[in-house]
Amino acid sequence: MKLLFSMGCAALFLILPCSPLPAAPEGTAGPLVGTVTPTSASIWFFASPGAKCEIFASPDAAKVFNTPLKFTPINKPVGKVVGILQTATLTDLNPDTFYHYGVKVDGETAGTLQGSFRTPPQPGTPHKFRMVLTSCMKFGQPQGSWNLLRAEKPHLHLTVGDTHYADTTDPAEQWGHHLRYRRVPEFAAVIRNIPTYAMWDDHDYGPNDSDKTARGKEQSLAGWKQFWSNPSAGTAATPGAFFKFSWGEVDFFLVDGRYHRSPDKAPDDAKKRMLGDAQFNWLLEGLKASRAKFKVIASGSTLDHSKGDGWRIYTFSRHRLFDAVKTNRINGVVYMSGDIHNSLVWQHPESTRVGYPLVEVISSGIANSGNLSFAAVDFDTTGNDPSMRVRIIMGNRKVSTDRTWKLSEISHK
């Protein structure tokens, strides 16, 4: 087996758009690094039917890659979309280790088929890491902020919806939109080099502001599971896109604010639900069981800033969540969201219900807004009082906000 790329080429991935790299075969999309654990990594790829795809990985780009691992096809073509989605899981990896990997299609690789990632440490290990938060990305809009995001060298990427604007539950339409955006060079370079976890919002779930009444939502969910490599989706008893994962001493709960959501226009009374009762109980049990220092709840919907399509008009659900954090004395809860085509960080004015300042990080419009912004969050759990630093980065490279919270500030006294 031949050496597939050099260290110099790998460095290029992190700094520059991928246009100088040799192109992947026509019709492919990905690779995308999805779920990464201390010992494994899931790689997603899309190729023509019949293409023979293999994957290689190594902790050292200067060495020959290790034994190839075959992809497993996970679906047949949908509508006019011709091609096969495939996934492979790299196993027996080492915690907190940087890896290079590559995909070969019919025996050939290319620069745009090669990427990298870093595994997290074992859960509960004190650790410093950087995550980036994004939402709202549209084909045809300026895509340069993805290069700024890569320059931050984040360990992981959370995207909380409007990952495309198909605005329908029709699977063929959704597939077309997913694939078109995955081939945007700037975005493609992000997803092949930064482990990416995704939650949908209305525009990738169904029509604008859609909810549990959306016809065809089962098809949307099936397609969503095929296009992302999240660790799971829903539970055996409760369908949905929600899931959780850990990175060091931070637990992430990605909640699905669409599949079980009461309509926005329903009366704001005790019957109105944002997550549905089963998902809320899943979240609460997860928060109560978590031993992590920080517990991030992430969703497309903002707590307050979206006046017509967020938790602001779901008072019962909002208060039930806030009150549960206080009653159960759950420390270090942080909320992250998107949707509003602007980015900011603030403390919710109803924090007295929570028992400490409830910080909300909103990141929206990295490729669909006036300021093309995103958020970078540094978690540091190595000290006696762990910290969370939030920066809001604009498309013009300016940092509009830079704030740090100590864990003791967002804990019950």
Interacting residue ranges for Fe ion, rule: CB under 5 A? 136, 162
Distance in angstroms (rounded) separating the CA atoms of residues 300 and 337: 5
Residue (24 or 132) nearer to Fe ion, CB? 132
CB 378 within 8 A of CB 128: yes
CB 156 within 8 A of CB 144: no
Rounded least distance, CB 165 to Fe ion, Å? 7
Rounded least distance, CB 386 to Fe ion, Å? 32
Rounded least distance, CB 255 to Fe ion, Å? 18
Residue type, 391: R
Rounded least distance, CB 302 to Fe ion, Å? 12
Give whole-number Cα distances, 287 to 109, 139, 235, 254, 323, in Å: 43, 36, 16, 12, 13
Rounded least distance, CB 112 to Fe ion, Å? 27
Strands 243-247 and 196-198: unpaired
Distance in angstroms (rounded) separating the CA atoms of residues 249 and 236: 27
Residue (136 or 321) nearer to Fe ion, CB? 136
Residue (24 or 136) nearer to Fe ion, CB? 136
Residue (325 or 394) nearer to Fe ion, CB? 394
Residue of 176, 135, 164, 133 lying closest to 300 (CA atoms): 135
Rounded least distance, CB 212 to Fe ion, Å? 20
Distance in angstroms (rounded) separating the CA atoms of residues 404 and 302: 21
Mark residue 209 as left, alpha or beta (left: phi above 0; alpha: psi -120 to 50; beta: remaining).
Answer: left
Distance in angstroms (rounded) separating the CA atoms of residues 410 and 224: 34
Residue (162 or 360) nearer to Fe ion, CB? 162
Residue (367 or 390) nearer to Fe ion, CB? 367
Residue (136 or 410) nearer to Fe ion, CB? 136
Rounded least distance, CB 196 to Fe ion, Å? 18
Residue 352 backbone dihedrals phi, psi, to 5 degrees: -60, -30
Residue (202 or 251) nearer to Fe ion, CB? 202
Residues forming a β-bridge with 360? 335, 346
CB 91 within 8 A of CB 217: no
Rounded least distance, CB 203 to Fe ion, Å? 6
Give whole-number Cα distances, 312 to 98, 190, 258, 304, in Å: 41, 32, 15, 5
Residue type, 65: F
Residue type, 263: P
Rounded least distance, CB 122 to Fe ion, Å? 36
Scanning 122-213, the segments in alpha helix (DSSP H) are 145-151, 171-182, 185-191, 202-205
Residue (229 or 306) nearer to Fe ion, CB? 306
Distance in angstroms (rounded) separating the CA atoms of residues 85 and 119: 24
